[in-house]
Amino acid sequence: MRTLILKTASDYLLPILLLFSIFILLRGHYLPGGGFVGGLMASIAFVLHAFANGLKDTKKLLKFHPGFLMPAGLLLSFLSGLLPVILQDAAFMTGLWLENPIPVIGSIGTALFFDVGVYIVVLGVTLTIIFTISESA
């Protein structure tokens, strides 16, 4: 499936798709989107790159095994839930928000970090599964 056109296109598509996935992630708060879909899209971006350039190049690009994203994302989600317990002695996963929204990103709160955690886990899981299977099959 290595064609020059796809290869050239994927070099540009990868950053655009990744940006788009982050857009979807942040958008999720007000409009359809969110961490889960965002993570899936980001992994599709990488899978597309792998199709065009071969798995080795994609792995080189990533620099680390995607499996490490899973604990990182889980930890981020967990800590975002733990934060209110530490800061305000509130129940686990109470939503905390900054008073003023930040331009571009919007309101910032623990739920956002939670969603980012979901994004990272989904990306890690999908890439781990697909990379493992395509390597061994």
Partner 1 sequence: MLLAILIGFFAALSQLLFGKFMKGKLSILLSLVPLAFFIFFVQYIPAIAAGEIVTAKHTWVSSFGVDLDLRLDGLALLFSLMITGIGTLVFIYTSAYLKNHPMLDRFYGYLFIFMAAMLGLVLSDNFLAMFIFWELTSISSFFLIGFNNTNPDSRKSALTALSITGIGGLLFLAGGLLLGEVTGTYQISQMISQNELLVNHSLYVLTVALIFGAAFTKSAQFPFHFWLPGAMKAPTPVSTYLHSATMVKAGIYLLFRLSPVLGNSDFWNNTLLIVGGITMLYAAFHTLFRTDLKGILAYSTIAALGILTFLIGLGTKESFIAAAVFILVHALYKATLFLMTGAIDLYTGTRDVTKLSGLHKVMLPIAIAGGLAAISNAGIPPSIGFIGKDLIYESTLHFRHNATLLTTLAILTNILIGYAGYVAGVKPFIGRTPTGLEKVTFPHPAIWIPPVILGVLGFVFGLFPSLVEASLIKPIVATTGVDTSDIHIKLWHGFNTVLGLSAITIISGIALYFIWKPNATKRYFIQRFDKLSPKFIIETLADWFESFSDLWTRIFQNGYLRNYITVIVVFLISLVAFTLLNNTTYQIDYSSFSKLTIYEVVSLCIMILAIGFAVFTKSRLAAVAATGVMGYSICLFFVFYSAPDLAMTQFAIDTLTVILFVLVLYKLPRYLNLSDYKTRVKDGIIAIAFGGLVSILALEVLAQPQNNEISSYYAENAYVLAHGKNVVNVILVDFRGIDTMVEISVLAIAAIGVFGLLKLRLKSEERKQQ
Q: Which residues bind partner 1 (CB under 8 A)?
A: 24, 28-37, 40-41, 43-44, 47, 67, 70-71, 73-74, 77-78, 81, 92-93, 95, 97, 107, 109, 111, 114-115, 117-118, 121-122, 124-126, 128-130, 132-137
* Closer CB to partner 1, 7 or 48, in the complex: 48
Q: How far is the CB of 88 from partner 1 (least distance, A)?
A: 15
In 87-119, which positions are buried (b, 16+ CB within 10 angstroms) versus exposed (e)?
Answer: eeeeeebeeeeeeeeeeeeeeebbbbbbbbbbb
What's the min distance (Å) between Cβ of 16 and partner 1? 16
Which residue lies nearer to partner 1 by CB, 14 or 125? 125
Alpha carbon distance 110, 81 (integer Å): 7
* Rounded Cα–Cα distance for residues 49 and 1 (Å): 12
Task: Read off the tokens for 98.
Answer: 């900054």
